[in-house]
A and B are shown apart, each in its own frame.
Chain A
Amino acid sequence: MLFADPFFLYVFFPICTILYFVSKNGRYRNAVLLLFSLLFYAWGDLKSLPLLLVAAALNFLLARRIAGKNPAAAKAALVCGILFDLGLLVVFKYAAFLTENFNTLTGLSLPVPQIALPLGVSFYTFRLISYLLDVRWEKTPAEKSFSRFLLYVSLFPCTVAGPVVRYADVSEELRIRQIAVEDLYAGVSRIAVGLGKKVILADLLSGITAEIFGGEIASLSVLGCWYGAAVYALQMYFDFSGYSDMAIGIARVFGFSFPENFNYPFVCKTIAEFWQRWHITLGAFFRDYLLYVPIFGSPRKYLGLFLVWFSTGLWHGAAWNFVIWGLYFGLFILLENLIGKKRIKKIPLPVRHLYTKLVITVGFGIFYFTDPARLGAFLSGLFGGNGNPFFGGETLLHSLAGNAFLLAAAILFSLPVVPQIKKKLEETPAGLVVSGVLSTASSVALLVVSTVLMITAESHPFLYANF
């Protein structure tokens, strides 16, 4: 079940919300949320529900042991827990990839396991790992109630995709939540914005990407290659951030404050800044649990950097293009580190913007092509290596014209223009009223238009949920 499915939006979510608010007692409210979270998961992947329950139970028990007074037992529990959680990823996400590569390297032909990826496994394993480490580092106490812990692990707004919500982010709210009318309004507005980003922008942009990259890559003009990758970058942004907005909005309706996951990444002036604005909770996870763990002290920071970006790439998919994609960004961050912040700041601003946009665009091209031959043709085509003209092809011309307003809107909404106008407006009481009216009207319009397009278009799954 996707957030951008009419069934979720108009059946599942309202029933859950009504039952939630009918229940006055916090414990009943948690029970409603837990029931609907498990139902949400089972609806999407019933077979994998036992795995989620076992993982939750095991991590719950191990965390209790980690928080215990026996240091040796705590350490052993931590190692067991992390091995188990990473093992889930290795077995269910990377087994086929690892076997294929092992076969290629050794010339053997071991059978490649065909294991279905359990729903949301990439996200909930990270939440579990962060919980174990936070308990170990005494950043948070171990949860004493299994039902509360299970609610944290399975909470449906963030079960199948981001943000990567840490236990410490919501531990208080798992116990007591207060919901003011402002929270409700902020929640439903955020849901409408996220829905619009996904259904109106990301899904329509996906049609452009499919047309540009769906044919023969070696036939694309230079501009065609850049255009396709730039559109794909925008599509990914609206898809990812749209989901995150909906997750944050839904959680807000139920009184949870999830961390932000995107902060207008395309305004960045360095690649490091881009990753501070893109998928923020994932970046923070790698930063806090991988880059700065004791084994990577200062002398080994480059190794840490390599490992972080290798892992970031691999986390996004079990294919080499994702690894290349991660390392590609890691390389630019390394270069920026070597140059130094002070020197970078001396570079004219337009040059810095141009540099980051070009690097990001190429990066998303790498992300798109899982087939090495097509990836090669794309990279070659970016710089005219396929012998094609700079500008050419009726498809490009018609795509640019036929989507001119869509592209303009996508660029506009990828920049923090609306928040700045809103902030300016809300400085006076009259402006506050205007802002409130416009905000409500746009939320309703986004809901209605998105609903029409959801029914009209074929279902487009959230790309986020594939990881």
Chain B
Amino acid sequence: MNEKPAASRIRQHGRKQRLQRVLALIGVTVFLSVFLSISAAMLILKRPEVSDLEKRSLAEFPSFSFSALLDGSYTQGIIRYFTDAAPYRDEIHDAGNGLSEYTGFRLDDVKMHGISEPPVQRPAETAAPTETERDAVTFPAAPETEPPETDVPETGPAGTDAPETEPPVTEPPETEPPETQSAGTEKENPEELLRDNGIIVLGSGQSTRAIMMYYGSEGATAAYAASLNRYKQQLGSGVRVWSMIIPTAVSYYLPEKYQKYTFSQKAHIDYSVPLLQDVKNVDAYGALLARVNEPIITRTDHHWAPLGAYYAAERFAQDAGVPFAPLSSYQRVDREGYVGTMYSYTGDIKLKNNPETFTYYKPANSYTTTYYNTYFQNPQVSNLFFEWVDIGYSYGVFLGTDNQIAVIDTDSSNDGVLLVVKDSYGNALIPFFTGSFQRIIVIDYRYFDLNLVTFCREQGVTDLLFAACAFSSCAVEHPYLEEMRTR
């Protein structure tokens, strides 16, 4: 009686097994086809050397050594190379960032990246230093003798030997893409610490903006002020010393409810002013505050915009009593589709999807720009504007890289010599000084290998301007300024 149903069940079971086997075969074939295709693509396709997205050189295949093999760095290097320099890695990053957008939704058009709850009680942010604090940055005992003459090496660093003859005048020097940093071998750089405090991306469409939270300390600000005071003391009355602490987007565009996630740049700038002794403060904060509705700070990059630099430069020119050309006299250049560093810092696809226009201004007067290595050797006449850089490197249009000394000789009626000690924020200021000084010397405090006091004297500097962002000036107790003064 039960034999038929049982046989039927067995047949059904057999059919089910055959079907499962067929489905498994199809499944394995499809999966392995995709899997092996990706595998082949990873092995065969050309690997990029530079990431335009992250603006850095990508990992290279490691060189073999037994010590590297033993300590694991060789094998780890291969793994890193394989991932970091994957074919189409920037496009894959864009895709990955796009996928990450689907993890949820934005509240009030805001997304917080890497921001944690701050301490309930932040350190007090006083607007002015106490008497004791002022005393603490009063001139220390100045060196009784001149700093020793720096021994300039007969040749500069490797690969920068001075040429025997003058270089051609108009050809730009062969340079790496600007603003790139080598993977894994980065020099300690205050600007690299910026992203550690978290970033908020807010707004939508052309109002989308990334804002980096600021941290800083009165101690670092005081150290900065004390250092400038020492420069002034050593250089004497013949050189005017200026301090321009450049505020960033967080000072102007962060909504009130998020203020607790940042320190106040304004408080630290104000804190620095009474500590400066015979060093003049340039109120860049105030100059920009009056123009917050204009594109003074980039939306997608951590730098300010050239227009913001113009207003700060104007304030400096007013304070210094030097000529200053109106903006209308400059040639305006627009670079469309600019997406700055904040995209790679956050991976926030909204920034990538809402690029901005990077507008810069070229002065009408005549000038010549000469670049030197960090020992002030190997002059190369070149352009002030590196207009051929890719759109993603647009902020690098000024001066190209940070690790050179630039000297700009102009036809300005003012025969003064301005030396600007800057971080990358200072680069955008330089074109606006071409009508104000006959000679402008630009050094980056991270890449200068001489004694700065001696150098100022040798170059006949009349005005010494320290122009760096608040992160560099007030947040990082870096040794650079003192090293340049005392080496």
Q: Identify the A interface with B (CB < 8 A).
A: 1, 5-7, 9-11, 14, 42-47, 180-182, 184-186, 188-189, 192, 204, 210-216, 218-220, 224, 388, 393-395, 397-407, 429, 432-433, 436-437, 439-440, 443-444, 447-449, 451-457, 459
Contact = CB atoms under 8 A, between A and B. Distances in A.
B86 A455 contact: yes
B267 interface: no
26 contacts: A1-B79, A7-B79, A11-B42, A14-B36, A46-B69, A47-B72, A181-B24, A184-B28, A185-B31, A186-B24, A204-B100, A211-B114, A393-B117, A394-B257, A395-B116, A398-B110, A404-B105, A405-B103, A429-B19, A436-B20, A440-B23, A447-B31, A449-B99, A456-B92, A456-B95, A456-B97
Given A219-B119, A452-B99, A455-B86, A10 B21 contact: no
Contacts of B39: 9-11, 14
B114 A452 contact: no
Q: Among the interface residues B25, B36, B38, B119, which one has the most CB atoms of the partner chain A within 10 A?
A: B38
Contacts of A454: 83
A439 B27 contact: yes
A284 B190 CA distance: 52
Contact of A215 (B27, B111, B118): B118
A10 B120 contact: no
Q: Among the interface residues A204, A402, A453, which one has the most CB atoms of the partner chain B within 10 A?
A: A402
A451 B28 contact: no
Contacts of B104: 400-407
Contacts of B23: 185, 432-433, 436-437, 440
Given A184-B24, A211-B114, 20 more contacts: A1-B75, A10-B39, A45-B72, A185-B23, A186-B24, A211-B116, A213-B116, A215-B116, A394-B112, A394-B261, A401-B106, A401-B107, A402-B107, A402-B111, A403-B104, A443-B31, A451-B38, A452-B92, A453-B99, A456-B97
Contacts of A10: 35, 38-39, 42-43
A219 B117 contact: yes
B266 interface: no
A393 B107 CA distance: 13
B411 to A, nearest CB: 50
Interface of B: 15-16, 19-21, 23-28, 30-32, 34-36, 38-39, 42-43, 69-72, 75, 78-79, 82-83, 86, 89, 92-93, 95-97, 99-100, 102-107, 110-112, 114-120, 257-258, 261, 347
Contacts of A185: 23-25, 27-28, 31
A277 to B, nearest CB: 27
B84 to A, nearest CB: 9
Nearest to A441: B30
Contact of A204 (B75, B103, B261): B103
Contacts of B24: 181-182, 184-186, 436
A444 B96 contact: no
Contacts of A211: 112, 114-116
A186 B24 CA distance: 8
Given A188-B32, A402-B105, A181 B25 contact: yes
Contact of B19 (A1, A433, A459): A433
Contact of A182 (B20, B31, B96, B99): B20
B26 A44 contact: no
A228 to B, nearest CB: 10
B28 A398 contact: no
Nearest to A208: B103
B24 to A, nearest CB: 4
A155 B42 CA distance: 26
Nearest to B71: A47
A14 B100 CA distance: 28
B96 A192 contact: no
B366 to A, nearest CB: 48
Nearest to B261: A394
A402 B82 contact: no
Contacts of B19: 429, 432-433
Question: What 10 pairs across the A-B complex have the smallest Cβ distances?
Answer: A215-B116, A456-B96, A436-B23, A185-B24, A406-B103, A440-B27, A404-B104, A219-B117, A10-B39, A7-B82
Nearest to B113: A211
A117 to B, nearest CB: 13
A288 to B, nearest CB: 35
A7 B78 contact: yes
Contacts of A189: 27, 31
B83 A6 contact: yes
Nearest to B112: A398
Contact of A214 (B26, B102, B116): B116
A443 B20 CA distance: 16
Contacts of B36: 14
Nearest to B42: A10
Contacts of A449: 99
Contacts of A437: 23
Contacts of A405: 102-105
Contacts of B20: 182, 432, 436
Nearest to A183: B24
Contact of A224 (B72, B95, B114, B117): B117
Contacts of B258: 394
Nearest to B347: A456
A442 to B, nearest CB: 11
B347 A429 contact: no
Nearest to B27: A440
A452 B111 contact: no
Contact of A395 (B16, B95, B105, B117): B117
Contacts of A45: 72
A10 to B, nearest CB: 4
A47 to B, nearest CB: 6
A42 B103 CA distance: 37
Nearest to B101: A402
Contacts of A220: 117
Contacts of A440: 23, 26-27, 30-31
Contacts of A188: 27-28, 31-32, 35
Contacts of B111: 398, 402
B97 A46 contact: no
A17 B210 CA distance: 46
Given A215-B118, A456-B92, A448 B82 contact: no
A455 B92 contact: yes
Given A188-B35, A444-B34, A455-B83, A215 B16 contact: no
Contacts of A400: 104
Contacts of A213: 116
Q: Among the interface residues B15, B83, B257, which one has the most CB atoms of the partner chain A within 10 A?
A: B83
